[in-house]
Structure 1
Amino acid sequence: MTDSFDVKLILNGLNCASCVGRAQRALESLPEVQSAAINLAIDTAHVKLLNAQALSSVLNALEQAGYPARLQTLEFSVDNLSCASCVGRAEAALSTVLGVTQAHVNLANERAQVTFAEGQVSSSDLSHALASAGYPMGSRQDHGMPQSVQQRKDEEYAQLKRLTAVSFLLAFPVFMLEMGGHAWPAFHHWVMRTIGLQNLWILELILTTAVLVGPGRRFFEKGFPALVRRAPDMNSLVALGAIAAWGYSVVVVCAPWVLPDSARVVYFEAAAVIVTLILLGRMLEARAKGRTGAAIERLVGLQAKTARVEISGDIVETEISDLGVGAVIHVRPGERVAVDGVVLSGQSYIDESMISGEPIPVSKAEGADVISGTVNGTGSFVFRATAVGNDTMLAHIIQMVEQAQGAKLPIQGLVDRITMWFVPAILGIALITMAVWAMFGPEPSITHALVAGVSVLIIACPCAMGLATPTSIMVGTGRGAELGVLFRKGEALQQLSGAKVVALDKTGTITAGHPALTNIVLAEGRKQQVILPLIASVEAQSEHPVAAAIVRYASENGAKPAHVTDFQSHTGFGVSGYVEGQKVLVGAARFMETDNVDVSAFGDTCHVWAQDGKTPLFAAIDGVAVAVIAVADPIKIGTREAIAALHAQGLTIAMITGDNKSTASVIAKELGIETVIADVLPDGKVAALDQLRQTVGTLVFVGDGINDAPALAQADVGIAIGTGTDVAIETSDVVLMSGDLRGVVNAFNLSRKTMQNIKQNLFWAFAYNIALVPVAAGILYPMFGVLLSPALAAGAMALSSVFVLTNALRLRRLKNALPEIEANT
């Protein structure tokens, strides 16, 4: 299989769905491009290349299409440079980083200047490349380092805010002078007496020209080149509409003899107001689009900037980028954990809610794993770094969310097909509209033709179509990350909403995945505080999972183990040893029989437990049965509520397990699971899923273990419990960070709400254009004498995109599907 290279680029010039289609086609036309996905909401392109050398072709294709990738330059010092050979090796190391377009190293001042694709390359990537070649990166000087989506949108918003303000100041006098007279005849007469008609028009010409040349120049700089390339976009429509209104008015002012008297009307206010309102809409879009990536910004904000590292016995404040695996890091109360690691000493409780969505702090002691970005409580501890940089769990989460946010859902295919011809079709409709009005319209027909044609150009809004899907995906997947539900593949958002059956693995998914002591019954006259320490003392010598469960229960109940002599482990039977001179046996009934211990007194208890799927173990002291212990794999907290919630959504629940039929049936009955497939080997799970899919429909599988990986890959949507194995997580479509089934309910809820939001956006975008383009063309004029003003058309167009973005942002308020469970956990 040929290796592929994933590249993320940030593009300039994307304004509407038509832009997305053209950029997409430019990329897909390259033979080296395996796949490409453009996201209008965050101006990014995710490209899969067959070889790394193809990046230059991608950059050239985007440049030719009019959507160049953002390139950034970083300057920094390089250590250990001593000769020209060092320069060559350092430059070669930098050039190997996918996304670097130029790398220059200067031996004289020992500095490097690197140009690279924004979004694809980070300073840490360059630092690692140089360090591996033996030339560590020194101090750096940014020249426009890659910015976050929020930062870029904030800057864009600030710029558009300035342009809108200038445009408003220039356009407002034009609007008032021209339209004020229609509203107040006295004002009109005053203007005619003091300024005069010709002077009024000249003043409007000057102010409107200032609007078009100043704040409105961006539309012409982008729109007309797109027309020349025969690839018109939203800017082309705005530019044509504004220049048509302005040009017609200029003819009226400067060459009135060209037009009949009835057609000598100026539309300077329309041109000025069009630009002002479109800029206002773009400004509001930029503000809203920045907020769609808020979840990613919050995740990035979780990353610590520095850490207190132990070096030769001293504690040194160190930049995170300088940390390596194995570093010993000290964490004080209230500090954020810098990188992933394992606790060496100390004890504390850590708030992991930003990672798992669970509100209860987690106890951490020696040997426990800690995760970067989580917040320490009141204790302090020391841990050893096991993953740094892009290898930390937080970095993986950010990467997964970004990939999901950049996904293109199947539903987007319809939008893409329509937007391919949308802008050319609008241009055609505008031309036809003007021709019909000019030939058949009432006098002044030329004026009516201009108004209708400009209105058609201005009111059409491919922006709303292009933003409808990606903004909802961004906000939905971002909110999912905050709730502990990570969509590794954005397509899962759509597939989940159509699922019919949820198949659950048992061990580790429905149940905790490890045995626990659930019950203990003592013989008459025996006391737990006496018996339990003896049992725990013997079991503490064993490494069996059941022994660990018994010792854990004893420790939680204050039992302290004593010294044990002559310990023996009897495989398949139990354990024995002497504690304080007493012979202690713990094991199955057959083990008791070998030592002639009578356990008949516990017969009824064992029978009841067997009905509940629990395994009985007996304890005997000096040949006398003193207790019976029930061990079972307990059902996870929240499982019952989650299954009930899934049933309430009309889903069929199935359980697939390698356990025996009787144990599986007991659990299924308790939880209300209607379909049980037991005694299944790992490859049998795939066959079981195929059978369920054929009989029920679209299928979701939830699992956590290595043996679940084939099933997770085979299911229509695979959901991995985040506390499971890396293999299971890597083969899944959705990851639950909380490690229990409540996250499945959240995943379904997110999917359905997001798809509902996308459909609302698409309905608005299409309905808006279908309804208002004919109105702009003048369809209401024969019946009601109504002809839409270009200025009103511009306002309506601006509001359509803002509506779509605002509707998508509602997903940020999506609540936990089972809040009462969270509160009681």
Structure 2
Amino acid sequence: MSKSIEVPISGMSCAACAVSVESMLKETEGIQSATVNYANQSAIITLENEGVDLSVAKKNIQSIGYDLLININNQEDLEAIKSAELSLLKRNTLYSGLLALPVFLIGMFWMNFPYANIIMWTLTTPILAVFGRSFFINSVKQGKIGNANMDTLVALSTGVAYLYSSFNTFFPHWLESRGIEPHVYFEAAAVIIFFILLGRLMESRAKAGTSEALKNLIGLQPTDLIVIRDGEPIKMNVADVQAGETILVKPGQKIPLDGILTEGQSYVDESMLTGEPIALDKNIGDNVFAGTINQAGSFKFKSNKSKSDTLLSSIIARVKQAQGSKAPIQKTVDKVTGIFVPAVLAIAVITFIIWSLSGTEDATLRGMLSAITVLVIACPCALGLATPTAIMVGIGKAASKGILIKDAESLETGKKIDTLILDKTGTITEGKPGVKEVLWKSGIDSKALASIFYALEEKSEHPLAAAVTEHFAEEKTSIDLAEFSSFTGKGVLGKYADKTYYIGNLKWLESLGINIDKTLAQTAENILDNGDIVIYLAEDNQLVGVVSIADKVRETSKVAISKLRKMGIEVHMLTGDQKKTAASIAKKVGIDHFQSGMLPQDKGEYIKKLQQKGHRVAMTGDGINDSEALVLADLGIAMGAGTDIAMETAQVTLMHSDLMAISELLKLSKETVTTIRQNLFWAFIYNIIGIPIAAGILYPISGFLLNPMIAGSAMALSSLSVVGNSLRLKYS
């Protein structure tokens, strides 16, 4: 019976690497199929049966420069390996940059400096032999299986430039005796290695958020719980508990598994699932979910799912699967490189052969120099700079506006967005309940009552009590209640100056015989119709006021949404809140499409349906409940005031939590992608024009033969033009 497993892979540095690994896996005996994902550095392998030994596959993968991590059993070990790889890449980038800088300065400006060639050779040698050796090792391993990638091009261009320059450094008379100036190109070799390493470091940092988000999600799962067996509490590991057990949860604890409440009552914070800031009243028969937080009383529940089957576990699995579906913008460059490298090699060889057979004076020498010139001028420096320089400038410009962008893919995708999904709570609204207004019965001393009700709510454990005390804080005076009682799920009462005061829901007050003022009751009904929450205030036997509580709409939300719609963006709102509230908020901010009562998986399915219709979807949210949707969307945008997990799973974070920044983001996306494409165009055009000239195509016509030194300068000029074009973006 076949079996599918996911196995991490280390050492992949480009999309072409994933193709090589996948090809090798598919050719391994016992493996039915394999899909390698470069974005999350792993492979989904389908084995012909459970008994297949992957050690053979591991050895095959190692032979081409990568590793199949078959012995990694937990996220912590995998993180340690990735951290070590990133540290090594940082070290190599830093040291190669420090050594490349003086080589560049000497090679470009101080060529007549005493012992200049020896100094450059001394500094360049460790760059290639130590900090950039992976390029040469990987290119050899790729060559063994008939493949070529960016490593091959880097190794060829830098290797040829280094060897030719080294020969001219130690044996300059060989060329001088033939009337040829023995130029060196150490700066080209050193700078190429540094810039390619820098580009890979940027990409690795961008991808680091993927595993960090998963680690934070996994951290929401409690590791221990208390099981009740034969009436006795027993502390156990969550992984050892199966469905059907009775579990005790104390105040402040995270609920460890999904289940149904069987004894007790409490308020539970389910914001990680629904995004709504108000804790829910949980009673016997209600569902509770793993990772949510018990706020008030203790209770017992019967688990109906094991750890691997909880709603939180499914969110983790969905986020991981969705993240794995991504692919970086650099894949286009890698694919072209796969064709470009063998083409350059072929041109260099053909150039040498044609020159050698041409019968001209020093034909073999001229052929060798022309072939070297082809390889030097075809170096990937401009190609390697094209994307990262535009990214650096674009991301820097965005950061100055409070928009943090993770990677190039986000910039490319932003240009194509036609539909924007907005979470309600914390995105369109401020994300916390507050008192909108307090309506008092006419003819009463509201200031004195406000102080009494402040004293009552100060002692209350109800999730909305803080909103009321915050509202009444300015009018509070020191009041000592003679008596205070709390009735869970109903309200609170207290006595002061021989009078009894109540705060609670209407049903409870009616059950106590409180006279309900018709005017206030009608006002409360109107408030409820708008989707807001109402708390009722009573003195002795009469209703004296109602408090309207709601999550306030951000000041800029309506203007921002209007601006996006003018840009041709279709705006939708998805919320876990009730329909009345959703409809009210949508109407206030000008949104025509909205859905209420949405769980995390519902948001994900909604996005998938839009994508199936051909829409390019951006999702903006701030909570854990939005994490799946943020990753499934073509572009995930997190609010800076939201959870760490939302910011880790999203590709973009709005630090000021202002929706106005989204239109800025989409505009900057178009400008940056245009710059990247211009850079790639010029990088390739430079090679298309330069390589034939380097090969000597103009020699039969005009007698012009491109000097390798001029080729090196042209290569540097192409790099500068790419950098200059990218910097232009900063001021656009």
Match of 1:29 among 24, 32, 37: 24
Contact 2:693 2:706 in 1 (8 A): yes
- What amino acid sits opposite 2:679 in the alignment? N
Partner of 2:350: 432
Structure 2 residue aligned with 1:268, among 162, 181, 192?
181
Aligned residues of 2:161 and 2:189 also touching (Cα < 8 A): no
Deviations 1:453-473 (A, max 9, x none): 443222112343345446666
> Is residue 455 from structure 1 mapped to residue 373 from structure 2 by the alignment?
yes
Which among 457, 476, 499 is matched to residue 539 of structure 1? 457
Match of 2:310 in 1: none
2:96–2:190 Cα contact (<8 Å) kept: no
Q: Which residue, out of 322, 330, 342, partners 1:412?
A: 330
- Does the 8 Å contact 2:162/2:189 carry over to 1? no
Aligned to 1:697, the other structure's residue is in SS state: coil
Distance 1:441-1:163 versus aligned 2 partners, 3 A rule = same
Residue 236 of structure 1: aligned partner? 156
Q: For 1:459-470, list aligned pairs within 5 A.
A: 459-469=377-387
How has the CA–CA distance of structure 1 residues 408 and 482 changed in structure 2, closer, same or farther, with 3 Å as cutoff?
farther
SS of match in other structure, 2:573: strand
Q: CA deviation at 1:530?
A: 1.2
Decide which of 649, 654, 659 is 2:572's aligned counterpart: 654
Which residue in the other structure is 2:496 paired with?
579
Mapped contact 2:627–2:649 kept (Cα < 8 A): yes
Q: 1:605 to 1:779 in 2, by over 3 A?
A: farther
In the alignment, structure 1 residue 154 sits paired with structure 2 residue 94: yes
Match of 2:188? 278
Pick the aligned partner of 1:764 from 661, 682, 693: 682
Task: Supply the distance in 2 between the matched residues of 1:290 and 1:4 (Cα, whole angstroms).
Answer: 24
Partner of 1:349: none
For the Cα contact (< 8 Å) 2:34–2:44, is it kept in 1?
A: yes
For the 8 Å contact 1:280–1:798, the answer to whether it is kept is: no
Q: Does 1:797 align with 2:715?
A: yes
CA distance in 1, matches of 2:437, 2:116: 86
Closer, same or farther: CA 213–266 of 1 in aligned 2, 3 Å = farther
2:93/2:194 contact within 8 Å kept: no
Does the 8 Å CA contact 1:502/1:699 hold for their aligned counterparts? yes
What corresponds to 1:776 in structure 2?
Answer: 694
Give the deviation of 1:548 after TM superposition. 3.2
Q: 1:443 to 1:467 in 2, by over 3 A?
A: same
Quote the Cα distance in structure 2 between the aligned partners of 1:704 and 1:472.
Answer: 28
Contact 2:696 2:704 in 1 (8 A): yes
Q: How does 1:332-731 map to 2 (within 5 A)?
A: 409=327, 411-434=329-352, 452-469=370-387, 492=410, 494-524=412-442, 526-555=444-473, 557-560=475-478, 562-565=480-483, 567=485, 569=487, 575-587=492-504, 595=513, 597=515, 599-602=517-520, 613-636=531-554, 638-640=556-558, 642-644=560-562, 646-647=564-565, 649-678=567-596, 684-694=602-612, 697-704=615-622, 708=626, 711-712=629-630, 715-719=633-637
Partner Cα separation in structure 1 for residue 536 and residue 75 of structure 2: 63
Partner SS for 2:553: coil
Residue identity in the other structure for 1:29: M
Separation (CA, whole Å) in 1 of partners of 2:612 and 2:714: 48
* Secondary structure at 1:515 match in 2: strand
Distance 1:255 1:626 in 2: 103
Q: Name the SS for the 1:233 alignment partner.
A: helix
Distance in 2 (CA, whole Å) between partners of 1:453 and 1:721 is 54
Most deviating of 760-769 and 154-163 = 154-163
User: CA-to-partner distance for each residue in 1:253-306, whole Å, 9 max, x for gaps?
Assistant: 7799xxxxxxx953233xx24x1441464487389669959989xx9xxxxxxx
Q: 1:801 Cα deviation (Å)?
A: 4.3
How far is the alpha carbon of 1:55 from its aligned partner? 9.4
SS of equivalent residue, structure 1 residue 701: strand
Q: Structure 1 residues 606 and 247 mapped into 2: Cα distance closer, same or farther (>3 Å)?
A: closer
Deviations 1:60-79 (A, max 9, x none): 856x55x699xxxxxxxxxx
Give secondary structure in 1 for the equivalent of 2:552.
coil
Aligned residues of 2:328 and 2:408 also touching (Cα < 8 A): no
Task: Give 1:428 deviation, angstroms.
Answer: 1.9
Q: Is the 8 A contact 1:504 1:653 kept in 2?
A: yes
Q: CA deviation at 1:670?
A: 1.6
Confirm or deny: 8 A CA contact 1:665 1:676 kept in the other structure.
Answer: yes
Q: Is the 8 A contact 2:161 2:188 kept in 1?
A: no
CA distance in 1, matches of 2:645, 2:102: 51
Partner AA of 1:266 in structure 2: G
**Over aligned residues, Cα RMSD in angstroms?**
5.9
CA shift, 1:517, in A, is: 0.6
**Is contact 1:703–1:721 with CA below 8 Å preserved after alignment?**
yes
Give TM-score, length-normalised by structure 2.
Answer: 0.62
Instruction: Kindly provide the amino acid, as one letter, of the partner of residue 157 in structure 1.
Output: G
Find the aligned partners of 1:246 and 1:146 in 2 and give their Cα distance.
32
Measure how far apart 1:568 and its partner are.
Answer: 5.8
Aligned residue runs from structure 1 range 188-199, under 5 A: none
Alignment TM-score, normalising by the size of structure 1: 0.56
- Contact 1:242/1:454 (CA < 8 Å) preserved in 2? no
1:88: which partner in 2?
A: none
User: Distance between the aligned counterparts of 1:509 and 1:545, measured in 2?
Assistant: 21
How much does 1:531 deviate? 1.7
CA distance in 1, matches of 2:366, 2:347: 15
**1:285 is aligned with what amino acid?**
F
Residue pairs, 1:81-96, within 5 angstroms: none
Measured against aligned partners, the alpha-carbon deviations of 1:303-347 in whole angstroms (never above 9, x if no partner) come to: xxxxxxxxxxxxxxxxxxxxxxxxxxxxxxxxxxxxxxx9xxxxx
**Does the aligned pair in 2 maintain the 1:157–1:287 contact within 8 Å?**
no
Cα distance in 1, alignment partners of residues 80 and 707 from structure 2? 42
Report the Cα offset of residue 757 of structure 1.
4.4
Distance (Å, rounded) in 1 between the aligned partners of 2:54 and 2:723: 35
Question: Unaligned regions of 5+ residues in structure 2, if any?
Answer: 48-52, 210-252, 254-318
Partners of 2:533 and 2:549 within 8 A in 1: yes
Alignment check: 8 A CA contact 2:435 2:550 kept:
yes
Equivalent residues of 1:480, 1:486 under 8 A apart: yes
Contact 1:614 1:631 in 2 (8 A): yes
Structure 2: distance between partners of 1:99 and 1:506: 35
Number of the residue aligned with 1:91: none
Q: CA deviation at 1:769?
A: 1.4
Residue 522 (structure 1) shift = 3.8
Q: What SS does the corresponding residue of 2:706 show, helix, strand or coil?
A: coil
Does structure 2 retain, via aligned residues, the 8 Å contact 1:248–1:267? no
Give the AA of the match of 2:712: A
The letter for the 2-side match of 1:517 is: V
Aligned partners of 2:530 and 2:580 also within 8 Å: no
Q: Note the C-alpha offset of 1:532.
A: 0.6
Give 1:756 deviation, angstroms.
Answer: 4.0
**Aligned length in residues:** 595
